[in-house]
């Protein structure tokens, strides 16, 4: 396939490289980054001329809408527009309607798996849109990831991503709080991990991405908390969760509190730190309960 890939940062760059490595004709577009060996177009519209598929990986809904205004008229009828950004549900649905009106297939397909998953082609895609459109592009998802879950109509992929990452933010905070308290109770971190990872406290945050260095599988904690998933990206996703909660009148007190805690962490030095870096931050704090 001829693929226009717009947004070649930490996630988009390796995703595009994997598609090119599998034999697809990939043309990239990015205002800052130009991955080595990937042909670049002067504009998103130029990249989309004659393309079978356009894939975007962008920072937010406003930028997605702006890029959509440029590329939807440039794509040939019958082409497919896949947005892998994490954005608000309203933006995903608005762009899907715009693409459909132009005779294009459209999928919102945010990802889970982080920079490592993008590089290794092991991402999970949460997909909203037409099942037939997904079937025609399934081979691309198989290259970029290990799983693609069809979640429903337009916007459902974003809804799934927002809910998933709200859970992730909440469970990571709970895991970090428990380690910080265990330290002050004199409990060895390895003993803590050995118990919790095989007991009712089991979670992905503990078992696969442990925030304590030297404990469990290798994670950003073992690399001085250099980001696999930066705290400000977690804050962005928690903010989206709270926007969605207000829009659909859902009560999410834990999500609301997690959003506030990550905002405070970033304000107090967490910018550019992995979201699991909350552990050393909490470990240095005194009890704040009323």
Instruction: Give mean pLDDT, residues 240-265.
Output: 97
Average pLDDT, the chain: 96
- Tell me the domain boundaries of the chain: 2-153, 159-284
Percent of the chain with pLDDT over 70: 100
Nearest to 67, CA basis, from 5, 146, 129: 5
Instruction: Give one word for 288, left, alpha or beta, with left for phi > 0 and alpha for psi -120 to 50.
Output: alpha
Question: Is pLDDT of 265 > 90?
Answer: yes
Q: 66: helix, coil or strand? A: helix
Question: 58-93: string of b/e by CB count within 10 Å (b at 16+)?
Answer: beebeebbebbeebbebbeeebbbbbbbbbbbebbb
The mean per-residue pLDDT over the stretch 80-88 comes to: 97
Prediction pTM value? 0.91
Q: What is the DSSP letter of 40?
A: B
Asked whether residue 23 carries a pLDDT value surpassing 90, the answer given is yes
pLDDT at residue 290 tops 90: no
Instruction: Specify the CATH number for 2-153; select among 3.40.50.12780, 1.10.3470.10, 3.40.50.2020, 3.40.50.720.
Output: 3.40.50.720
Residues labelled catalytic: 161
Residue 288: predicted pLDDT: 86
Collect all residues with Cβ–Cβ distance below 8 Å to 273 and sequence separation of at least 6.
Answer: 225, 227, 230, 231
**% pLDDT > 90, the chain:** 95
Q: Which of 28-37, 175-184, 261-270 has the lowest mean pLDDT?
A: 28-37
Q: Dump pLDDT digits (tens) for 95-120.
A: 999 999 999 999 999 999 888 899 99
pLDDT digits (tens, 9 = 90+) for 155-197: 999 999 999 999 999 999 999 999 999 999 999 999 999 999 9
Confidence grade of residue 57 (pLDDT, cut at 50, 70, 90): very high
In this predicted model, what pLDDT tens digit does every residue of 201-227 receive, in sequence order?
Answer: 999 999 999 999 999 999 999 999 999
* pLDDT given at position 78: 97
Q: What is the CATH number of domain 159-284?
A: 1.10.1040.10
**pLDDT at position 289:** 83
In sign, the C-alpha dihedral spanning 95, 99, 104, 105 is: positive
Tell me the mean pLDDT in the region 254-273. Answer: 98
What is the DSSP secondary structure assignment for residue 153, as one 8-state letter?
A: S
């Amino acid at each position: 396939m001829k693929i226009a890939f717009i947004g070649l940062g930490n996630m988009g760059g390796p995703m595009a490289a994997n598609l090119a490595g599998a034999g697809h004709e990939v043309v990239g577009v990015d205002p800052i980054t130009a991955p080595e060996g990937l042909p670049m177009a002067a504009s998103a519209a130029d990249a989309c001329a004659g393309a079978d598929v356009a894939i975007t990986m962008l920072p937010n809904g406003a930028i997605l809408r702006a890029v959509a205004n440029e590329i939807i008229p440039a794509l040939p009828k019958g082409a497919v527009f896949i947005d892998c950004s994490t954005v608000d549900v309203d933006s995903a649905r608005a762009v899907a309607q715009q693409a459909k009106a132009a005779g294009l297939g459209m999928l919102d397909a945010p990802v889970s798996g982080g920079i490592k998953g993008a590089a290794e082609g092991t991402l999970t895609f949460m997909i909203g849109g037409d099942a037939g459109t997904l079937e025609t592009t399934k081979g691309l998802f198989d290259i970029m990831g290990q799983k693609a879950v069809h979640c429903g109509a337009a916007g459902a992929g974003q809804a799934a991503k927002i809910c998933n990452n709200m859970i992730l933010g909440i469970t990571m905070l709970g895991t970090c709080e428990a380690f910080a308290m265990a330290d002050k109770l004199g409990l060895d971190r390895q003993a803590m991990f050995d118990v919790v990872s095989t007991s009712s406290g089991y979670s992905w945050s503990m078992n696969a991405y442990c925030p304590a260095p030297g404990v469990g599988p290798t994670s950003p904690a073992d690399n001085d908390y250099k980001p696999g998933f930066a705290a400000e990206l977690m804050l962005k996703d928690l903010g989206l969760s709270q926007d969605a909660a207000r829009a659909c009148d859902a009560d999410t007190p834990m999500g609301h509190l997690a959003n506030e805690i990550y905002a405070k962490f970033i304000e107090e030095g967490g910018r550019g730190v992995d979201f699991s870096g909350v552990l050393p931050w909490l470990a240095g704090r005194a009890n704040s309960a009323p």
